[in-house]
Structure formats: C-alpha cells, structure tokens
A and B are shown apart, each in its own frame.
Chain A
Amino acid sequence: MRLNVNPTRMELSRLKKRLKVAVRGHKLLKDKQDELMKKFIDLIKKNNELRLKVEEELTKSLKDFMMARAVMGTEALEEAIAMPAETIKLDVTKKNIMSVNVPIMNFVREGSENASIYPYGFFATTGELDAAIKKLYDIMPHLLELAEVEKSCQLMADEIEKTRRRVNALEYVMIPQLKETIKYITMKLDENERGTLTRLMKIKSMMQK
C-alpha cells in the first residue's frame, strides 16, 4: 500500500522527513517498550508472590475472626469493634515509571498516640478476638503493599499494550508505507527524467536532418 500523493520533488522531500521522524519515533517507543517490559516482569512476579502470601494469611486471619465470633457471639463482637480506636488513612503520592504514573501508598494512622490496637476493654471479650485482631493488624502492611504493586501492574499492563500497538503500527504500517511511497516517487521522477532526455535527443536528431 502506498500513500496517495503526487509524485513531485516537494512531496518526496516531505515524505523523507516523515520517514526520518517515524524511524526515530519507532526506535524510542521500542526502547520504552523494552524497559517497561523489564520493569513489569519484575513487578508482576512480586505481585504474584505477594498475593499468594497475603491471601493465605488473610484467610487464616478471617478464620480466626470467625472463631472469635463463634465464641463471643455476633452481637458482642460487633459491639466490641464498632468503635475503632483509630482510623487508617492513606497518603498517596505519584511515582513515574517510564511515563506511567503509579501510586505509592502510605498508611497514616490517626488516633491517640499510644492507644492499643484493641478498641475495647478486655472485660467482655475473649482472647480469640485479641489474637485475630493482632493478626489482621500485622497483615495490613502486606495488604497495602499488595494494593500498591497490583495497581502499578494494572496501569503498566495497560501502558505496555498501548505502546506495543504504537510500535507495531509504526513498524508494520507507517514505515513500510512511507518507504514504498518514496520508492514510487523516485521511480516516477527518474522515469520522467529519462522521458525528457529521450525526447530532447529525438528533437535534436530531427532538427539536424
């Protein structure tokens, strides 16, 4: 497929410029893609490991919680934890990995400085609940890390897909098209020149007769 243009010198030099830009763009995008891929593979491996770990721990912790509920009774448990001693907030900053903005998340605990993690008095609750909450509390940093890594992976996967499309479009469509058109114009111009030359020679020989 060649572009639909007039075979003129103007057009030729314009196309040559475009080809140069396309080749340069292709190289840059390809580099970007490679680098993104490298980072992505590191990250996704971490993501996989982290998720396996967190899922396992979390399941355990939730089971403990069920246990605590079974011992204490649903209402008593809900009453005990209905008013948490602190709230967790999230501080999000951006990090730029190869033009992909990924979030960096940090926990911020809001509450009195040295409050215990248990939001209740120990009178009406059982040891099971304490243990379950402690466990959940310990998982939190992992859970957050998982969230951060997983979100980054999602965003990067999207960006990689986009970049790959662009690279392929340039490599298999734009650049071949431009090259073919340039070739076509060069041929056409050469042909015209030869045409002119033979015409001149013909005329000259006619005039000499």
Chain B
Amino acid sequence: MRYLKNVSTLTIDRKKCTGCGMCAVVCPHRVIKIAERKAWIIEPDLCMECGACAVNCRENAVSVKNGTGCAYGMIKAKLKGSSEECECDCC
C-alpha cells in the first residue's frame, strides 16, 4: 500500500553519513539502502516519517519532520491551538 507521493520530509546529508547502516536497519518500510558506504533514499514515497532513522543516526546526518500522522490529533491540536501531536485516545 502506498500513500501520497512526494510529501516525505526525509533527507540524508551524505557528507556527514558514514554508512554505518543503522538508518536502514530501523526503517520499517525499507526506504533506505546502503551502497558505496553511504545511505541512499530509494523509496521516498514509502516513508511514513516515523523518525526512527533520524533518532538512531549518531552523526545527525538524517533529518525528518516526524510525527504520528493522526488526523484526529491534528484537528484537535488545530482547534486547541496546542502543539501538533497525537493526544487522542486512539492509540
């Protein structure tokens, strides 16, 4: 299953990347592959911006605006003017 195209905020700074491969390991959608000792985004449209890759990059080479992607939570945050995070009871 695929979601909307060209929306993922995932980027990798290949100057900082040492090719340790941790980002590729933790990605639950196999978005990243290691080749020539660097990380490459091979399936950007499969990215759900969970942030596992960025959290586990010790070089801070990976960046992504992460979140849970919960419409309910976003609407609630908009209405209450609070920070955009999932605060509903749905998970």
A binds B: no
Name B's A-contacting residues (CB within 8 A).
none
